[in-house]
C-alpha cells in the first residue's frame, strides 16, 4: 500500500517506533544508568560535605547542594533508594496530564494538537532521560513552549510565561530547550491521529449523502450501494439518524485521542492511522468495521482461503487494532483514582531524595554547544577576553570585505590553494 510507504519515511516511524519489549528494556536501561549516576553523585557530595565540615567547623554553609541531600538522608551510609522504571513512567504520565491542564489555562486554550505534540515531546524525552536527572516540571514547560513553535501556534515567551503559576521566569522555560531538542534527536515532526480522523469522518459523510467514491481496490462499489449499506448498519442505541451517529462517533473518538492516546504508549507502539481507527472502534464498532470493509473488503467467504493480500492484511490489521483498543481502553485518568494519586505523592517525595544533586542545580542549565561554551568560557576570563574579542572583530572585518565568505571560504578554492 502506497500510503504506508509515506509513513515509513517519517522520522516517527524511523526513530520513535518501538516494540513493547524494546520500549521496556530501553526504559530499564535509562533508569539503571541514571540510578548509578545519582548514587555516585550523592556519595561524592556527601563525602565533600563531611570533609568540609570536619576540616573547618566554623565555615558557614559550604555546599548547599550537598547539605540538602545530607540532612534529609540523615548522613547515613545506606544505599539511596532510586525510582523504578514504573515509578518514573507514572511520574511522566502525571506531567503529561499537567500539560493538558496547563493548556486549558491560556486564553484561548492552546489547541489540542499543540498540547499533544508537547506531550509526545515529553514522552520521547523521558525515554532516554530519567526524571531523577532532569525534573519533569521544568522539562514539561519547555516541551510545551517548543510545541507552540513547531506547530505554528505563535505565542511570545512573555505571553507564555504569564499564564504559568508560580514564580517561573521566561529564562527558566527556555533554559533546557537545547537539551530537549537534542534528546528529541532534532526530530520535531509528530504524526497525530487527529487529522486522519477528520478525513475519515469527511469521507463517511460523503458516503452517507450518496456521493462516496469507491475504493481503488473495489472499483465495482457504487455510491448508492455504499449509502444503502451504511444506512442498513446495525443501529446504534443512542443516535437516531446516520448523521447524528457520525457526529457522535466523531466526538467520542476525538475525546479518546485527546486523552487515552496521549497518556499511553500508543504513539510508540502503533501508527497514527491505527490509533484513530482503534479509537473509532471503541466509539462505534459497527461503523468502524463498515468503513474498514469498504477499504479492504469484508471478511473472506472462505477462511481457509489463502493468498488474497487484502484479506490477509485485514486479519492482521484487526489483530493490531484490537491490541491498540485494549491499550486505549485500559487508560484511567490519574485524577479520578485516589489510589494512584496517593502513589504519585509517594513517588514525588521519593524523587525529592534521589534527585541527582549534580544536576539539581543544573537541571535547567541551558545546554550550549561546545563551541559556544568555549566562547563563553573565554569571555568569562577577563585577561583573554579582550584580545580574543579584538581578534574576532578583526576576523569579522576581514570577512566583511568579501561578502561571499559569510559562511566561510569555499571548499574548492581552499583546495586549489593547496
Note whether 392 binds other proteins by CB under 8 A: no
10-49 residues in contact with other proteins (CB under 8 A) are 10, 13, 17-20, 22, 25-26, 28-30, 33-34, 37
**Looking at beta carbons only, is 46 or 191 nearer to other proteins?**
191
For other proteins, the closer CB: 46 or 359: 359
- Rg of the chain taking only CA atoms, in angstroms: 28
Please answer whether residues 46 and 69 qualify as being in contact, where contact means their C-beta atoms are separated by less than 8 angstroms.
yes
By the 10 Å C-beta count (0-12 exposed, 13-18 middle, 19+ buried), 27 is classed as buried
DSSP per-residue letters across 242-295 = HHHHHHHHHHHHHHHHHTHHHHSSHHHHS-HHHHHHHHHHHH-HHHHHHHHHHH
Q: Which contiguous run of DSSP H or E holds residue 88?
A: helix 85-104
| Nearest residue to 144 via CA among 166, 125, 167 | 125
Per CB under 8 A, 92 contacts other proteins = no
370 binds other proteins (CB under 8 A): yes
Scan residues 295-324 and list those touching other proteins (CB under 8 A).
295, 313, 316-317, 320
Dist CA 369 CA 154 (whole Å):
26
Nearest-angstrom CA–CA distance, 191 and 386? 49
To other proteins, the closest distance from the beta carbon of 188 in angstroms equals 17
Cell of 65: 547542594
Distance CA(132)–CA(118), nearest Å, equals 20
Q: Which of 272, 311, 355, 360 binds other proteins (CB under 8 A)?
A: 272
Q: Does 326 bind other proteins (CB under 8 A)?
A: no
* Nearest-approach distance from CB 400 to other proteins, in angstroms: 32
Segment contacting other proteins by CB under 8 A, of 115-123, 136-144, 167-175, 191-199: 191-199
CA distance 168 to 158: 11
The reply on whether position 290 binds other proteins by CB under 8 A is no
Q: Which parts of this chain interact with other proteins (CB under 8 A)?
A: 1-4, 6-8, 10, 13, 17-20, 22, 25-26, 28-30, 33-34, 37, 127-130, 133, 179, 182-183, 185, 191, 195-200, 202-203, 205-206, 209, 211, 213-217, 269-274, 276-277, 295, 313, 316-317, 320, 358-359, 362, 365, 367-368, 370, 373
Amino acid at each position: 500500500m502506497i500510503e504506508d510507504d509515506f509513513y515509513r519515511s517519517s522520522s516517527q516511524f524511523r526513530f520513535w517506533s518501538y516494540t513493547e519489549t524494546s520500549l521496556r528494556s530501553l526504559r530499564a536501561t535509562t533508569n539503571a544508568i541514571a540510578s548509578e549516576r545519582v548514587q555516585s553523585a550523592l556519595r561524592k557530595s556527601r563525602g565533600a560535605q563531611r570533609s568540609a565540615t570536619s576540616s573547618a567547623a566554623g565555615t558557614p554553609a559550604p555546599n548547599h547542594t550537598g547539605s540538602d541531600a545530607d540532612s534529609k538522608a540523615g548522613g547515613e551510609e545506606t544505599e539511596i533508594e532510586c525510582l523504578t522504571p514504573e515509578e518514573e513512567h507514572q511520574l511522566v504520565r502525571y506531567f503529561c496530564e499537567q500539560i493538558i491542564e496547563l493548556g486549558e489555562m491560556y486564553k484561548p486554550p492552546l489547541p489540542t494538537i499543540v498540547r499533544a505534540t508537547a506531550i509526545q515531546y515529553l514522552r520521547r524525552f523521558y525515554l532516554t532521560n530519567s526524571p531523577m536527572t532532569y525534573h519533569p516540571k521544568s522539562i514539561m514547560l519547555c516541551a510545551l513552549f517548543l510545541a507552540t513553535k513547531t506547530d505554528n501556534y505563535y505565542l511570545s515567551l512573555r505571553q507564555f510565561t504569564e499564564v504559568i503559576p508560580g514564580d517561573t521566569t521566561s529564562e527558566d522555560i527556555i533554559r533546557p530547550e537545547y537539551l530537549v531538542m537534542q534528546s528529541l534527536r532534532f526530530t520535531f515532526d509528530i504524526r497525530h491521529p487527529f487529522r486522519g480522523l477528520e478525513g475519515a469522518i469527511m469521507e463517511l459523510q460523503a458516503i452517507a449523502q450518496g456521493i462516496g467514491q469507491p475504493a481503488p481496490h473495489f472499483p465495482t462499489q457504487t455510491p448508492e450501494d455504499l449509502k444503502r449499506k451504511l444506512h442498513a448498519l446495525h443501529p446504534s442505541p443512542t443516535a437516531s439518524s446516520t448523521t447524528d451517529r457520525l457526529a457522535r462517533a466523531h466526538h467520542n473518538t476525538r475525546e479518546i485521542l485527546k486523552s487515552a492516546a496521549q497518556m499511553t504508549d500508543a504513539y510508540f507502539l502503533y501508527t497514527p492511522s491505527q490509533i484513530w481507527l482503534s479509537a473509532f472502534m471503541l466509539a462505534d464498532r459497527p461503523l468502524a468495521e463498515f468503513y474498514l470493509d469498504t477499504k479492504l473488503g469484508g471478511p473472506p467467504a472462505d477462511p481457509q482461503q489463502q493468498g488474497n493480500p487484502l484479506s490477509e492484511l485485514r486479519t492482521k490489521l484487526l489483530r493490531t487494532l484490537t491490541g491498540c483498543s485494549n491499550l486505549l481502553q485500559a487508560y484511567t485518568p490519574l485524577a479520578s483514582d485516589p489510589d494512584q494519586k496517593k502513589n504519585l505523592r509517594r513517588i514525588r517525595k521519593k524523587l525529592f531524595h534521589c534527585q541527582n544533586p549534580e544536576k539539581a542545580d543544573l537541571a535547567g542549565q541551558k545546554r550550549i554547544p561546545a563551541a559556544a561554551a568555549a566562547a563563553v568560557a573565554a569571555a568569562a576570563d577577563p585577561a583573554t577576553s579582550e584580545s580574543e574579542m579584538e581578534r574576532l572583530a578583526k576576523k569579522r572585518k576581514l570577512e566583511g570585505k568579501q561578502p561571499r565568505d559569510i559562511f566561510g571560504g569555499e571548499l574548492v578554492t581552499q583546495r586549489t590553494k593547496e
